Structure 1
Amino acid sequence: MSIIISPEFKKLKNRLSDLILIHHELLLQICPNIEREYLLKFGSLEYELYKKDVKLSMLKRKLQLIQIQISTEEEIDIELIDEILEEEFFKYKENIKKHMDELNGAMEEQHICLLSKKDTKRLKLIYKQCVLKLHPDLNPNLSNREKDLFIQITEAFKNGNLNALESLYYFVPNKKVEFESEIERLQELIECEEKEIAEIKEKYPYNKKELLLDDNEIYEYEVMLNNLITQFDDDIQRCMDEIDLI
């Protein structure tokens, strides 16, 4: 069954589907690709910098705990101090591990084959049609089977798997029923999508996009990170020397 719908409704629905596509592309493809490239260029240096930052903080805290024991005329108990440090810095060590896992993941994915411009265009075109017919915001009365189908389609889009997306597209129903009364709802959804897209573009990793396009900025950032690492090394050595003198 189909009914006549207003041009405004069609226009709004197409606008919303375009925004959903942009939103999903940012979340599922563009931002992950930016983050992967950023980690491959700077991940090792930032990992080393963070690790040294934690080490220096631990040494400073260790020195502080030793000085407290000395000031209270207690016998210096390094084993107890190390236990305290382990507990206090547990979450920081977990962050170090997480950072390394992210870096390893980026290195594993760097050899993934990218689609050609032609295939990328087709991927977006098919996905947009799927969004129009299966996205919950545009189709509030989806069956469970249709919801599961859209999850599979979104995963195929995320992975840039054109073959899988083309196969799944054959199972998308050809719905034609629309409701003009939903114009106000569509306008609200459009505003929401526009806001979320703007927020994504202001945050990491999208805010690193321009940096990755400028070779001079890349070089300058690498130099800055290396200088900070050297500075941390000097501070760490000074702190260790101070502890050894106690």
Structure 2
Amino acid sequence: MYELMSSPELALARLRLDVVRELLLDAVQENDALANHRLPNLEAFYWTQFGPLEIALYEAELKRDETAYRIRLIRQYLNRGLPIDLPAIQVRVTQQFEERVHSLSVMRGQLTTAREYLSLPMLSAPQTDELNALYKQLIKALHPDLHPHQSAADAKLFLIVLDAYANGLLAVLQTIAAILDDGDDEALSLPELHQQLAKLLTDLARERRRNVQLHQKWPLTIEKELQNETWRAHHQATLQLTLNQLKQQVAANIVLYGQLVGDLGDETNE
């Protein structure tokens, strides 16, 4: 009597598990594709298109601010009637702009990485080893030749495994392996099914939060603009105009710096 009453609940719990598993797998697939394909491709495209200008802009801005800082320090010496100490000024400039110089180095590295992106492997060596190991494990568990009476759900999983392996989607294979490790639903009691469902719902919520976060990341936020040739041309022109303005500011600062150092030098010589 109890078994008859609990059977509909068991069937409903198993159905919910199947639905949530499918939703979770879809979410993992989308997030893995976003994180490992669309975002890196967009970033590489942006940097190969605009990276040299972005770096030139940062360099010019850094040069402008460095010379402005030197001028301020020199004026401090002049205002106090002290002889200028160029080595001491250089030390202070180096300390003041150390982080920004490092950032410039990072930007140059990003440009190099972007240019090499298409020729570099998507996964690290340990990740590739894990991908291959999981693929072999899942093929044994899901290949229709080895399991001629498999369910439609397992047949679908097998196709997803093939696609994930071909595209290097390690997280997808990890998720499928975890699903299969959960065991046979038929052998689980109702409380165990509810516990498993709660875990999957938590994982699904996490993947959905991650999806929102990924869509808020640059340069995915400007994906449509990057696909627009007119926007790209306008963006390049804007960067070039800003660069030209910065170069003028740098030139003006260099002239002023030279005048201050030169004037002090003349006074010293007298």
Which category describes the TM-score, using the shorter chain as reference length? 0.7 to 0.9
Q: Distance in 1 between matches of 2:81 and 2:165?
A: 62
Indicate the RMSD between aligned Cα atoms, in angstroms.
Answer: 3.4
Question: Counterparts of 1:92 and 1:113 in 2: how far apart (Å)?
Answer: 30
Q: 186-195 or 84-93, which moves further after superposition?
A: 186-195
Q: How many angstroms does 1:65 deviate by?
A: 0.7
Identity of aligned residues (%): 17
Q: Distance in 1 between matches of 2:239 and 2:164?
A: 35
Change in Cα spacing, 1:203 to 1:44, as seen in structure 2 (3 Å) is same
Which residue does the alignment assign to 1:205? 219
Distance 1:235 1:215, change over 3 A: same
Q: 1:42 aligns with which of 37, 47, 50?
A: 50
Residue 208 (structure 2) aligns with: 194
CA deviation vs aligned residue, 1:146-192 (integer Å, no higher than 9, x gap): xxxxxxx9xx9699459x9xxx99xx696443452222332232222
Quick one: which amino acid aligns to residue 184 of structure 2? V
Q: CA deviation at 1:112?
A: 6.6
Counterpart Cα distance in 1 of 2:118 and 2:26: 29
Map 1:77-226 to 2 at 5 A. Answer: 77-110=85-118, 160=167, 175=181, 176-178=183-185, 179-181=192-194, 182-226=196-240
Partner secondary structure for residue 74 of structure 1: coil
Q: CA deviation at 1:200?
A: 1.3
- Which residue of the partner structure matches residue 64 of structure 1? 72
Offset from partner CA, 1:27-52 (integer Å, 9 cap, x none): 11111111011111111110110111
The 1-side partners of 2:109 and 2:27 are apart by 32
Higher Rg of the two aligned structures: 2
Contact 1:59 1:239 in 2 (8 A): yes
Task: Look up the equivalent residue of 1:238 and give its one-letter code.
Answer: A
1:221 Cα deviation from its structure 2 partner: 0.3
Aligned residues, how many? 205
Pick from 226, 237, 241 the counterpart of residue 255 of structure 2: 241
1:23 aligns with 2:31: yes
In the superposition, the TM-score normalised over structure 2's length comes to 0.67
Change in Cα spacing, 1:243 to 1:22, as seen in structure 2 (3 Å) is same
Cα gap change, 1:96 to 1:31, in 2 (>3 Å): same
1:11 aligns with 2:19: yes
1:6 Cα offset (Å): 1.4
- SS of the residue aligned with 2:257? helix
**AA partner of residue 191 (structure 1):** A
Superposed displacement of residue 110, structure 1: 3.9
Q: Kindly provide the amino acid, as one letter, of the partner of residue 197 in structure 2.
A: I
Name the CA distance, whole Å, in 2 between partners of 1:71 and 1:105.
48
Specify the code of the residue in structure 2 equivalent to 1:180. Answer: L
In structure 1, stretches of 5+ residues that fail to align are 115-122, 134-152
Under a length normalisation based on structure 1, what TM-score does the superposition of the two structures give? 0.73
Higher helix share: 2
In structure 1, C-alpha distance between the alignment counterparts of 2:197 and 2:79, rounded to whole Å: 73
More deviation in 180-189 or 41-50?
Answer: 180-189
Displacement after TM superposition at 1:22 (Å): 1.2
1:203 match: secondary structure: coil
For 2:222 and 2:46, locate their aligned partners in 1 and report how far apart those are by CA, in whole Å. Answer: 7
CA gap of 1:32–1:68, structure 2 versus 1, over 3 A, is same
Q: Which stretch of the first structure deviates more once superposed, 219-228 or 27-36?
A: 27-36
